Amino acid sequence: MTLHRRWLLTVAVILLGTTAAGGCAPGRRLPDVPYVVTPDRVIEEMLQIASVGPNDLLYDLGSGDGRIVIAAARKFGTRGVGIEIDPALIEVANENARQAGVTHLVRFVHGDIFVADFAQATVVTLYLLPELNLRLRPRLLTELAPGTRVVSHNYDMGSWVPQRSIRITVDSRTHYIYFWVVPTAHLRPS
């Protein structure tokens, strides 16, 4: 074996070892934010503030067990898509949708919100982290049609000033909800 081939083999072994030690299966991306659910009462407010209805297509970016998408389908007959990086949560969401009788309205896609296409959404819901909202912001502003509503649990979008924000207390914990409408191109925040 040439020195070069031996070097390549060593690098490959080190990389495989690192991946195994890190507990991340090859090709599987770790979540950018852990799974924490939005309480039902907060979901009700998020759907209300965005005036979600039967003609909407709602995308929840990082959909967890599917509860936001499923609640919108149950209450308003809204079609919905949940994008979630954890395949086990996709299974949970599909089972929850089956139990709620809304499988004809919703679907859950295993994918990364930073790569997935959500341009068809008329409503986008988020419960992520401030820095993830900021990473998504350019795509929300350019890929979504003007008039699309965006609702975030707890975290804002920096200099993109929300049209409305509310604070509610659920089980002694304070939650914030921020609401934006995607503006036309010439009114986009920098």
Ligand X SMILES: C[S@@+](CC[C@H](N)C(=O)[O-])C[C@H]1O[C@@H](n2cnc3c(N)ncnc32)[C@H](O)[C@@H]1O
Which residues contact ligand X (rule: CB under 6 A)? 31-33, 35-38, 60, 62-64, 67-68, 83-86, 89, 112-114, 127, 153
Asked whether 118 and 81 are in contact (CB, 8 A), the reply is: yes
Closest chain position to ligand X (CB):
62
Nearer to ligand X, 60 or 144 (CB): 60
CB of 190 to ligand X, least distance (A): 25
Asked whether 66 and 88 are in contact (CB, 8 A), the reply is: no
CB of 184 to ligand X, least distance (A): 28
Nearer to ligand X, 6 or 28 (CB): 28
Strand order in the sheet with 123-126: 106-110, 79-84, 57-61, 123-126, 149-153, 173-181, 164-170
CB of 24 to ligand X, least distance (A): 13
Nearer to ligand X, 32 or 156 (CB): 32
Nearer to ligand X, 76 or 118 (CB): 118
Report the alpha-carbon distance of residue 180 to residue 141 in Å, rounded. 10
**3-state SS string for 143-165:** HCCCCCEEEEECCCCCCCCCCEE
Nearer to ligand X, 35 or 176 (CB): 35
CB of 60 to ligand X, least distance (A): 5
CB of 12 to ligand X, least distance (A): 27
- What are the E-state strand segments in the chain? 57-61, 79-84, 106-110, 123-126, 149-153, 164-170, 173-181
